[in-house]
Amino acid sequence: MMGRSDWKKFPKSILLEPVSVFLLFLYISYQNAWLSDDSFISFRVIDHFVNGNGLHWNIAERVQAFTNPLLILVLSPFYYLYQNIVLWSLFSSFIWGLATFYYLRKIAVSSFSFWIGITFLLSSRSFVDYTYSGLENSLNYFLAAIFFYHYFKEEESERSKLPVLVLIASVGLVSRIDFVLIFILPISLLLRKEWKNGKVDPSLLFKISVSTWPAILWFLFSSLYYGSLLPNTYYAKTNVEEPFSQILQNGWNYYIFEMKWDPIVFFFLPFVAIIRIFFKKNNAPIWVFFGFSLPYFIYIFSVGGDFMAGRFFTYVIFLFGIALVRMESLEKKEIYILSSALIFYNILLLSTPIHPISQQIKQNPWKLGKDEIADEKLWYFPATGLVARNKENSLIPYLTRKKFFVTEEDHEKVLVKYNVGFFGFLHPSQHILDHVGLGDPLLSRIKGKGRIGHKIRSLPFGYFDSLEFGENRIQDLALREYYDSLMILTRGELFDPKRFGLFWRFQFGDLRKYSKPYIVDEVLENKIRKRSLEKGSHSFD
The pLDDT tens digits of the residues spanning 214-267 come to 999 999 999 999 999 999 999 999 999 999 999 999 999 999 999 999 999 999
Q: Are the C-beta atoms of residues 416 and 524 closer than 8 Å to each other?
A: yes
CB 165 within 8 A of CB 183: yes
Q: Which of 357, 384, 417 is at the close of a domain?
A: 357
Strand partners, 434: 417
Same domain membership, residue 326 and residue 244: yes
Buried b (16+ CB within 10 A) or exposed e, 287-298: ebbbebbebbbe
* Whether residue 442 sits in one domain with residue 342: no
Among 339, 357, 375, where does a domain finish? 357
**Strand partners for 451:** 454
pLDDT at position 402: 83
Residue 372 lies in a domain: no
161: Cβ–Cβ under 8 A, 6 or more apart, which residues?
150, 151, 153, 155, 190
Q: How many domains does the chain have?
A: 2
Taking only the tens place, the pLDDT of each residue in 474-529 is 999 999 999 999 999 999 999 999 999 999 999 999 999 999 999 999 998 888 87
Residue 310 resides in a domain: yes
Residue 500 falls inside a structural domain = yes
Examine residue 368 and state whether it is found in any structural domain, yes or no: no
Among 327, 357, 387, give the residue marking a domain's end: 357
Looking at the fold, whether 338 and 418 belong to one and the same domain comes out as no
Give the angle subtended at the CA of 376 by the CAs of 373 and 382, to the nearest 5°: 140
pLDDT for residue 51: 96
Q: Count CB neighbours of 482 within 10 A.
A: 22
Flag whether 399 is in a domain: no
Largest CA distance in the chain: 77
Please tell me whether residue 68 adopts helix, strand or coil conformation.
Answer: coil
DSSP summary character for residue 540: -
Task: Specify which residues 456 forms β-bridges with.
Answer: 449
Domain co-membership, 135 together with 269 = yes
Q: Are residues 448 and 352 in the same domain?
A: no
> Does one domain contain both 341 and 415?
no
Alpha-helix runs per DSSP H in 124-180: 125-129, 137-152, 162-175
Domain contains 371: no
Same domain, 352 and 453: no
Together in a domain, 250 and 115: yes
In a domain, 11, yes or no: no
Could you tell me if 424 and 330 lie in one domain? no
In a domain, 398, yes or no: no
Alpha helices (runs of H) in 108-136, residue ranges in sequence order: 111-123, 125-129
Same domain, 90 and 194: yes
> What is the domain extent for residue 475?
408-534
Closest listed residue to residue 64, CA positions, set 490, 446, 468, 467 = 490
Torsion of CA 14, 19, 22, 23, to 10 degrees: -160
Burial 103-120 (b: 16+ CB within 10 A, else e): bbbbbbbbbbbbbbbbbb
Residue 43: its pLDDT value, please? 98
Residues 110 and 170 in one domain: yes
Query: Which residue, 473, 474, 460, is CA-closest to 517?
Result: 460
Q: Give dist(CA 217, CA 210) in Å, integer.
A: 11
Average confidence (pLDDT) per 10 residues, the chain, 541 residues = 42 77 97 96 97 95 97 98 97 98 96 96 97 96 98 82 97 97 97 92 95 97 97 94 94 94 96 94 94 97 94 98 95 94 94 90 64 88 93 92 68 88 93 94 95 91 94 96 96 95 95 95 85 55 53
CA within 13 Å, CB half, 387: 15
Residues 223 and 123 in one domain: yes
